[in-house]
Structure 1
């Protein structure tokens, strides 16, 4: 299973998560998002870039509770509610946003 980007084949697992997170790029994120029926807006990118920074720092993809808490600290309560995140990523903010961010599936997500 793979995504196609500029003639390259990028492998992913059966759920769509990249098997090699080092190949991630903004262009690849757009392809994954399209696959997830999401049109990337600045708000989506804010969450995706936040997740990538979080992963760089802690080497783990945050579960939804941790994500909400960390977003609240950085962006304030209006951008850190489950409701807001589910509007952006209807199939599960932590799971779907991590997939688009090219990160592994968050721990605790089924």
Structure 2
């Protein structure tokens, strides 16, 4: 299994770079993960989505879809696409250190 290094810590990832062991993620890793996705600075709105993604993963075993994010995270779908232009659910999941949500291509 491949690994990636964030915040001087090697973590196992899948072939697309998603964490396979979400418990190894730390908030300190998020900035580096975001920059890899073309997001230079994480705002409080980004963190709202990131923390929501982790919470949903912990509760349900998968990250939410864009539709669920837009309805339940407190961030509209339009804003999600402004925050995470390359695809909100997939990009936010990667930054949050959780596996790719079901239904994401």
Displacement, 1:21?
1.0
Q: Specify the structure having the higher radius of gyration (Cα).
A: 1
Q: Distance in 2 between matches of 1:6 and 1:92?
A: 24
Superposed CA offset, 1:43-86 (max 9, x none): 10110001111112222211111221212xxx3xxx32x21100
User: Equivalent residue for 1:57?
Assistant: 59
Question: Please, what is the CA RMSD of the aligned residues?
Answer: 1.5
Superposed, which structure 2 residues align to 1:1-110 within 5 Å? 1-38=2-39, 39-71=41-73, 75=74, 79-80=75-76, 82-110=77-105
> Compared with structure 1, are the counterparts of its residues 93 and 10 closer, same or farther at alpha carbon in structure 2 (3 Å cutoff)?
same
Report the number of matched residues.
103
Contact 1:18 1:99 in 2 (8 A): yes
> Compared with structure 1, are the counterparts of its residues 87 and 21 closer, same or farther at alpha carbon in structure 2 (3 Å cutoff)?
same
- For structure 2, the 5+ residue unaligned runs are none
TM-score scaled to structure 1, two decimals?
0.84
